[in-house]
Amino acid sequence: MSNNREKNIEKFAEMFKALSNPNRLKIFLRLISCCVPGVITHIKDSVESEECACVGDLGKDLGIVPSTISHYIKELRQAGLINMERQGQKVECSIAPETLIALKSFFSS
């Protein structure tokens, strides 16, 4: 139905809005390079390797205060681009694999 297509357009527009801020885009790209479920994880600069990136990690590199990072990440999640899961004190973030697939095919279909 055409209504469905309408809804998809709204949804993709929402995703693109979430990615329209350079810092949010950087966060998203970083998660793509290290935190796609089912993909070998990235070894960090430090002595330790990490499975995934928590909210604080994502902010450190970008020099952004925690409240702003938290807000960014919420927007990425609301757009369906990432998943979040509390792990103790931290909240781990990862790419939403099905959304990434949808984006991959969006411009090719």
Partner DNA sequence: TCGATTATTCGACATAATTCGAAATATAAT
Partner DNA sequence: ATTATATTTCGAATTATGTCGAATAATCGA
Strand partners, 86: 91
Rule CB under 8 A: choose which of 1, 22, 45, 47 binds a copy of itself.
22
Rule CB under 7 A: choose which of 3, 4, 20, 105 binds DNA.
20
Task: Work out whether 39 is an interface residue with a copy of itself (CB under 8 A).
Answer: no
* CA 70 – CA 16 distance, rounded (Å): 19
Q: Which does 84 bind (CB under 5 to 8 A by kind): DNA, a copy of itself, none?
A: DNA
Check: CB of residue 45 under 8 Å from CB of residue 36. Answer: no
Q: Which does 54 bind (CB under 5 to 8 A by kind): DNA, a copy of itself, none?
A: DNA
CA distances from 61 to 16, 67, 86 (A): 23, 15, 21
| Pick 66 or 97: Cβ nearer DNA | 66
